[in-house]
Chains A and B, each alone.
Chain A
């Protein structure tokens, strides 16, 4: 078990990334009860936005200097796509049956993928993403890549900022009110349309940060990364309790740890040799999801809310 710190660190890092993306699902679901399945693609757009910023900078720019600009660009692109999706794909269907926006989301996600595939230069195959050079860093007995440090720093900052925003600011409180009861919130003078757009924008912004983290961690991005990322993040959101922002992060970390530990250790349990390894990690992650939902249908941190509909 001497590689336990390493597996824990890997799981934590992976989970933090899932968590950042899961915020996008959970924010939107909390406010409009819509699962924005195009969110993975919004993240993917952010990654390509960041890459574009890097390509526009003169060659030889230090990555540390370029990173803020790439971050701004990634978040900017994600937010634009997120707001655009809300305005043109979801708002016209606000009062339609729930399955309609769901199908729209799937259509939108295919469209966004194909847009990058068709029009981004050289994006029919994976494009390489700039990476920090230098050796990995030793942290509490685990090797952490330099690119992954970004995630370890960015994720907590983002979470604290979001927590503060939701609890303390006027818009944040308006958001809570809208989530509890949109009609009454409207009567109290809250512009719910604006709140919904804000929710999409915040989710997309977190997606943009996650996109940069993804690029730095893996060193390559392609037009399909959004699908798996979105699926995993959605799972994380449900696991943590969809609608709860801290739940999204907790769900992400639990999912990341589950994948990492299942790959490493399940096959060492006597009699389970066949069910371990990388091939089974998603199976174990979903077994965990099912177990959690059996005991706590509302997710780890979700609240049991009276259904309105």
Chain B
């Protein structure tokens, strides 16, 4: 039966192939010092290909904008910044490879990224070993900064080199739960997640807060975000007749899920986190996105002056793709690294240490005290490396646009 063994080989080959689809980045060789000016590289890791590439490309462009801005304004005297973007295709293995690459390159002073929490997990230890700073614009899983036991209140920062600009699921999920229960008066929920670090965390924190408030979870299920067919799951949802659905996951699967759930007979809205807060969500779920709610970190961008400037500059720079949900945070992440480098230069009388390892170490220290008014609001870090900006906003889709319905800070009751 050669045919059968051929089938087995084929299947294995495909499986292996799908696991190793990681792209390689290229690296330009630049001389470190030229005419008294030092060139420092800021690494960037994001999914530049794959179905989250829209978000990833927005992150890359925004970081690029920050680097250009710093070079133009000569934010750090005598230092020219350069961005080197690598693609992780939303895969932890690729992210770790990229992290190793950055660490090995003695021009790289720090890294921005990644987008996905599970990719972040795989990169943290690499950066920590090299004492190189990593600032993520979008990782929201609590354990990245507060340790695996954060749920029990035993918070412990696992990596001194890891910082993030966005708030965590630990407050994003509960914030939405309070709003749905107290203000929308919806008491029955069906919770679905995509089994990824981000989605699972978000759905978990939402669920426990909602139950604490007295709400009823009428069912839970998981979906595979690689697929777009959720008929079996939405049939179950329709049968359970919840007041609304909470989805922990990202919009590429969230939008079709909402669309299919409503077609199957779901009456209430689909609620989710910042990864559903995208114009793409509305475009994909079309009229079935009406009334859906997404939480996001920070105050609405259009209310902040710094954000308006960012939007204007982004448009002026003529990037082909929009900045998307995390553009502002990517800008702030990059800017935080630039500010930290500036602080190190000032501490050493305008010069950076000769040894790159020394520079990296000092940048990590300086990062802890970085403070500035960023695109997303006031940027600063607490003792865990989390942002001190605990503001959250909720947005509801009305007439095809996400309209802010509530902004505030999460209070535990």
* Chain A residues within 8 Å of B, Cβ to Cβ: 3, 6-7, 10-11, 13-14, 33, 35, 37, 98-99, 102-103, 106, 110, 114, 117, 124-126, 128, 131, 136, 143, 145, 218-220, 222, 224-225, 227-228, 231, 238, 242, 259-260, 262-264, 277-279, 281-282, 297, 307, 309
Contact = CB atoms under 8 A, between A and B. Distances in A.
Given A35-B10, A99-B9, A224-B50, A143 B265 contact: yes
A35 B7 contact: yes
A279 B221 contact: yes
Contacts of A227: 18, 226
A126 B280 contact: yes
A126 B4 contact: no
A227 to B, nearest CB: 7
Q: Which of B13, B229, B235, B265 has the most CB of A within 10 A?
A: B229
B53 A278 contact: no
A220 B255 contact: yes
A293 to B, nearest CB: 8
B232 A278 contact: yes
B264 A143 contact: yes
Interface in B1-30: 1-4, 6-7, 9-10, 13-14, 17-18, 21
Given A136-B263, A277-B221, A297-B1, A220 B14 contact: no
A309 B255 CA distance: 49
A7 B232 contact: yes
Given A126-B280, A277-B233, A278-B233, A218 B224 contact: no
B133 to A, nearest CB: 29
Contact of B4 (A6, A11, A125, A297): A297
Given A99-B9, A124-B54, A263-B221, 12 more contacts: A3-B236, A7-B235, A14-B231, A110-B17, A125-B53, A126-B280, A126-B284, A259-B232, A264-B236, A278-B222, A278-B224, A278-B230
B252 A282 contact: no
A10 B53 contact: no
Contacts of A110: 17, 21
Contacts of A278: 192, 221-224, 230, 232-233
B255 A263 contact: no
Contacts of B7: 35, 238, 242
Main secondary structure on A side of the interface with B: helix
Nearest to B10: A35
Contacts, number: 121
Interface residues of B, number: 50
Contacts of B321: 124
Contacts of B10: 35, 37, 102
A219 B256 contact: yes
A114 B9 CA distance: 25
Question: Sorted from nearest, which 5 A-B pairs have the closest CB atoms?
Answer: A263-B232, A279-B222, A125-B54, A10-B231, A278-B233
Contacts of B21: 110
Given A125-B54, A238-B7, A264-B236, A37 B14 contact: yes
Interface string B172-212: 00000000000000000000100100000000000000000
B283 A128 contact: yes
B256 A220 contact: yes
Contact of A264 (B222, B226, B235, B280): B235
Interface string B279-313: 01001101000000000000000000000000000
Nearest to A99: B9
B255 to A, nearest CB: 7
A35 B3 CA distance: 11
Nearest to B280: A125
B93 interface: no
Contact of A279 (B18, B224, B239): B224
B227 interface: yes
Contacts of B256: 218-220
Nearest to B221: A277
Contact of B2 (A14, A114, A297, A309): A309
A264 B232 contact: yes
14 contacts: A106-B17, A110-B17, A117-B53, A125-B54, A125-B252, A126-B280, A131-B286, A219-B286, A224-B50, A231-B14, A264-B232, A278-B224, A279-B222, A309-B2
B228 A260 contact: no
Contacts of B1: 297, 307
Interface string B315-353: 000000100000000000000000000000000000000
B91 interface: no
A220 B6 contact: no
Given A35-B10, A106-B14, A297-B4, A124 B233 contact: no
Interface in B215-258: 220-224, 226-233, 235-236, 239, 252, 255-256
A7 B264 CA distance: 11
Contacts of A228: 226-227
Nearest to A297: B4
B49 A117 contact: yes
Nearest to B239: A3
A168 to B, nearest CB: 28
B223 A279 contact: yes
Nearest to B54: A125
Nearest to B7: A238
Nearest to A217: B229
B230 to A, nearest CB: 7
Given A220-B255, A264-B232, A106 B57 contact: no
Contacts of B223: 278-279
Contacts of B231: 10, 13-14, 260
Nearest to B50: A224
Given A35-B7, A220-B256, A225-B228, A125 B51 contact: yes
Given A219-B259, A220-B228, A279-B224, A263 B280 contact: no
A279 B195 contact: yes
Contacts of B13: 102-103, 106
A277 B192 CA distance: 10
A224 B253 CA distance: 13
B150 to A, nearest CB: 24
A220 B233 contact: no
A98 B4 CA distance: 13
